């Protein structure tokens, strides 16, 4: 299945989001251009953090 241009862009940006370290997220949120953008950044980082934590738990195989 070929990806649309929109999906390609979203894929790139998702990868970028994952590369941003937890310690850097506050700085990025502070630099947001509006309150709505700041909210979006905070929630997006939260989703990524949750996914990373889920993987850590899965790797421990409790």
Chain residues in the site for its own copies (CB under 8 A) = 1, 3-4, 6-7, 9-14, 16-17, 19-20, 24, 27-28, 31-33, 36-37, 39-41, 43-44, 47-48, 51
- Main-chain phi, psi angles of 49, to 5 degrees: -60, -45
Q: Which is nearer to its own copies, 7 or 57 (CB)?
A: 7
Q: How far is the CB of 57 from its own copies (least distance, A)?
A: 14
Instruction: Give the nearest distance from C-beta 10 to its own copies in angstroms.
Output: 6
Cα(57)–Cα(6) distance, rounded to whole angstroms?
32
- In degrees and rounded to multiples of 5, residue 39 shows phi and psi of -60, -45
Instruction: Report helix, strand or coil for 5.
Output: helix
């Amino acid at each position: 299945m070929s990806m649309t241009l929109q999906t390609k862009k979203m894929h790139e940006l998702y990868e970028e989001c994952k590369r941003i370290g937890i310690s850097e997220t506050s700085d990025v949120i502070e630099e947001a251009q509006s309150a709505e953008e700041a909210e979006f950044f905070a929630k997006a980082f939260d989703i990524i953090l949750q996914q990373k934590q889920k993987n850590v738990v899965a790797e421990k195989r409790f």
